[in-house]
Structure 1
């Protein structure tokens, strides 16, 4: 919801009225550019201080990840997981064009075909801590990442994604919890769909979380989120799921589709640059038109949040 200050001069007095503009006015160009800057142009210096200088430069190129195959492994995918992954795969094909398929390869990461870039382990129930760390050791060898020896990583969320830029190129690992039964409540369906959509979008767009403290304005991107403290709550509890679902959009917003089109049409080899913002600003109307066409496609309904699909006018 936008606030606008109106000055009225009357008989020697200056009167200020605080007018509330209808939030239905939707986002504008300024909103989109601000989100693009926060989510896609960020400082890497703190991470690079610990990076092996012999490794190649970090380069965020969504096309390199998007066009490659995705290896889906771990638990047998739940019907909801299949629905979301199929919808997202169709979206990437619509926006980026030809891409390799999503392949379910079995229980182990070693079962994945060679030359993968994106690895998605799905699990039900308890978090597979040992298997997760075995996955990281496998990726360390395959991509020459240079992870510390004997380091044991913890799992702090039911859905998480890690991107690596190793000596043999970039790779990404997703660990996503899925339902363990078919008779889902509305809350459970929203929760499991939301966390899967978010991690898929982050990996394929190279965007980062955008903390949002203003609760008066609506969400414009899946990456925007209210900070919530859920540390001691069970992941399967209603309180945990409800809090997480309410902390950000349930699915992709119009801006997210807009941003995918920007990444698909730019010739930049590194999207983490002010040049991306200049590209978005210069092609803004064209990107809005592309996003509008994609949003109208019924195939993507399962991965969208209908409350944030309005584009700038």
Structure 2
């Protein structure tokens, strides 16, 4: 979403960051069968979007390959717990290329660069996103492992709907305001599967959505804008600030969403 493999053709359709298109579309879960924790997060997040956007996000738990999805989806989520599935990731992207006419370079391959990553494309037949997320390989988890796997899945789901990118945060004395904020940490020397890596990543940003993130989803849904990277979104939030706060408070108070939220960043702006 943040760059291009090559210069975009002048006749390509315009890039439109339409949150409603993603939130009201379909998500197809492929790869390894979702464990209970992953399934709970995915379905609860779908419930959250249903409450905010007013229409059910269709979630399909399909098979190992992208072809097992019943139809081309706006969002694909591949889960794995063992070695990073580089071959399957790139097979997914090639199928997306055929379905959405992305026009990827012929011999290009996408690396698996982290335990959770999102690749978004604006093809000639519409926008599509692919999430690759590692899930817990076992059920007997430590508190750190349980929080880590939940956190990375929540972050990727939120980013793909909000079109939000990571926001670097250097001042640790100020509280986090959004799941998108990230304090830079150097974890290159640690295995992705190590407690040190998981604890370090957990400390670098909120473990769940902040209240402001919920407010942003309400703003994206309520504004009805075709593109979220617009000054009109800011004007909408300023005009409807009190109503957005009230709607967010109602959503946050729903007990079933507690698993998606970080209580350490629960304050709404005033």
* CA–CA distance in structure 1, aligned partners of residues 26 and 88 of structure 2: 21
RMSD of Structure 2 on Structure 1 (CA)? 1.5
- Tell me whether 1:193 sits opposite 2:143 in the alignment: no
* CA–CA distance in structure 2, aligned partners of residues 87 and 291 of structure 1: 16
* CA–CA distance in structure 2, aligned partners of residues 195 and 163 of structure 1: 17
Q: Give, in angstroms, the shift of residue 105 of structure 1.
A: 0.8
| Partner secondary structure for residue 249 of structure 2 | helix
Q: Give, in angstroms, the shift of residue 231 of structure 1.
A: 2.2
| Partner secondary structure for residue 164 of structure 2 | coil
Question: Equivalent residue for 2:179?
Answer: 222
- Say which is worse superposed, 229-238 or 122-131, in terms of deviation: 229-238
Flag the structure with larger Rg.
Answer: 1
Residues 1-313 of structure 1 correspond to what in structure 2 (within 5 A)?
A: 47=4, 50-313=7-270
Over 3 Å counting, the alpha-carbon distance change for 1:70 and 1:212 in structure 2 is same
User: Are the aligned partners of 1:69 and 1:99 in contact in 2 as well (CA < 8 Å)?
Assistant: no
Q: How many residues align?
A: 270
| Partner secondary structure for residue 301 of structure 1 | helix
Q: Give, in angstroms, the shift of residue 124 of structure 1.
A: 0.7
Q: Give, in angstroms, the shift of residue 65 of structure 1.
A: 0.7
Q: Give, in angstroms, the shift of residue 188 of structure 1.
A: 0.2
* CA–CA distance in structure 2, aligned partners of residues 273 and 312 of structure 1: 21
* CA–CA distance in structure 2, aligned partners of residues 311 and 268 of structure 1: 23
Q: Give, in angstroms, the shift of residue 48 of structure 1.
A: 9.9
User: Are the aligned partners of 2:72 and 2:99 in contact in 1 as well (CA < 8 Å)?
Assistant: no
TM-score using structure 1 length: 0.84
Q: Give, in angstroms, the shift of residue 100 of structure 1.
A: 3.7
* CA–CA distance in structure 2, aligned partners of residues 266 and 311 of structure 1: 19
After superposing on structure 2, the runs of 4+ consecutive aligned residues of structure 1 that deviate more than 3 Å are: 46-49
* CA–CA distance in structure 1, aligned partners of residues 102 and 4 of structure 2: 14
User: Are the aligned partners of 1:190 and 1:250 in contact in 2 as well (CA < 8 Å)?
Assistant: yes
* CA–CA distance in structure 1, aligned partners of residues 134 and 38 of structure 2: 10
TM-score using structure 2 length: 0.97
Structure 1 residue runs without a partner (length 5+): 1-41
Q: Give, in angstroms, the shift of residue 47 of structure 1.
A: 4.7
